[in-house]
Amino acid sequence: MQKIFEEVKSLDKRCYDKLHLSEDILMEQASIALANEVRKQTNKGQKVLFVCGPGNNGADGITAARILVKELDVSVYIPIGVKSKMAELQLKRLRALHVKVVTSIIDADVYVDAIFGSGLQRDLSENISLIIQQLNEKKAKKISCDVPTGIDYEGKVRNVCFIADITVTMGALKESLFSDNAKDFVGKIKVANLGVSRENYETKSNSFLLEDSDVKLPFREKQKANKGDFGHVVVICGHKEGASRISAISSFNFGAGLVSLVGKNRNNIPYSIMSSEVLPSNFSVVVAGMGLGNIYGDEKLRNFLLLHEKPLVVDADLLHHKIIKEILESKNEVVITPHPKEFASLLKILNIADIDVSEVQSSRFKWAREFSKKYPNVVLVLKGANTIIIKDTTLYVNSLGSSKLAKGGSGDVLAGMIGALIAQNYSILDAAISASIAHAKVANECKCASFGISPEDLYEGIKWL
């Protein structure tokens, strides 16, 4: 698990004020890291073009080019000149070594984007947009300095964006790198130290990037056990019965001792799953909403969801239902798992915001936090290219997923997996985190083509984690 920061200017300032490091030292270290990455991606005799902007991001690129002079065939392109004092100083140092400064994009084997960094707040000019488009069309290795040009400080992708294979981000991970819109542009993200270790550069954060190693799978270490020790998951059946069946099988395959499908439309039930029209006398958690439709009246829904104290995992149709407000305000342990469209609907029902899906997607972190301010005891799992998990003020990003999961039924699998872990005595937050990572891990390890994965592949893959 790595820390993520909304901004790093305050971290830089702390280095100047508390650690007595100068701006020049931080820039030199940033540029050494960038130069080292260029070395790794370049073979002897290959050409490297640094495209540098007018500010300190451009200065990082100019400095890295200076470090690599004579070692590699390096050229620098500065399309709109330099403006910051550090960029002027670094260009003066570069010219002293007679580095090639070109006046247009030339053919190269590696292109380094050092035009604009994490402070971008406006659309790119027509000239810079054209340059980015030309760079994106080149068949070469592409590296970004700090943040790919075109991603702004909030993670929104402006009118055009550099498509990086690798982003060398400076000092610490920035939240803007993990917006859904940024995912197709950042490539592999690497963090550069700035004269001190990350541990010394970073301060306290409430946001974290989840890693493979953060998953806690429900392995059974005690041998003296029975099915009751691993909980009983209830999955509420709905109009589209396949969705609840997928969730039930996923719960069972992820370690739940017992799983029951409850309600109407209990057809084609696997032999390992139990069935009942009413809630069983003893259960651990209820998973509901998948394919629910409107086959139950308010009284029946209240019985399933509110007339007990067990945790709830809520997905899909229930997130559009008027009962959701009562659930969130009255239940102590709730996990909700909306996709962006469901989340937009939920925000409106809860009187938090009346926005469309595009606004949710452009400001996912903002709206996740707004929801969590109002419902700090609820675990929100906002699905997407980078899934956001938040409870109270602590936020986690799962960037391990892929477009393989963009299939009907994938979310039903995840809901069932979360329910299974809650049944096995995970906290609702730990269940959401571990199930989300495991869900992505199953998809990544599936051997079928990226377009061919199915819910059946996912719930079968759970067995082999």
In this predicted model, what pLDDT tens digit does every residue of 284-338 receive, in sequence order?
999 999 999 989 988 999 999 999 999 999 999 999 999 999 999 999 999 999 9
Rounded to an integer, what is the distance from CA 118 to the centroid of its chain?
18
CA distances from 67 to 34, 64, 98, 121, 175 (A): 10, 5, 13, 30, 29
Domains of the chain: 2-205 (3.40.50.10260), 213-464 (3.40.1190.20)
- Kindly report, residue by residue over 116-160, the tens digit of the pLDDT: 987 777 888 999 999 999 999 999 999 999 999 999 988 989 889
The C-alpha atoms of residue 270 and residue 280 are separated, in whole angstroms, by: 18
pLDDT over 90, % of the chain: 87
The C-alpha atoms of residue 31 and residue 170 are separated, in whole angstroms, by: 9
DSSP structure class, residue 150: T
The C-alpha atoms of residue 126 and residue 182 are separated, in whole angstroms, by: 21
Q: Using an 8 Å Cβ cutoff, are 362 and 176 in contact?
A: no
The C-alpha atoms of residue 119 and residue 6 are separated, in whole angstroms, by: 11
Q: What is the pLDDT of residue 37?
A: 96
pTM: 0.93
Please report how the helices 23-40 and 85-96 are oriented relative to each other, as an axis angle in degrees rounded to 10: 60
Task: Give the CB-side neighbour count of residue 216, counting CA atoms within 13 A.
Answer: 15
- Kindly report, residue by residue over 31-51, the tens digit of the pLDDT: 999 999 999 999 888 999 999
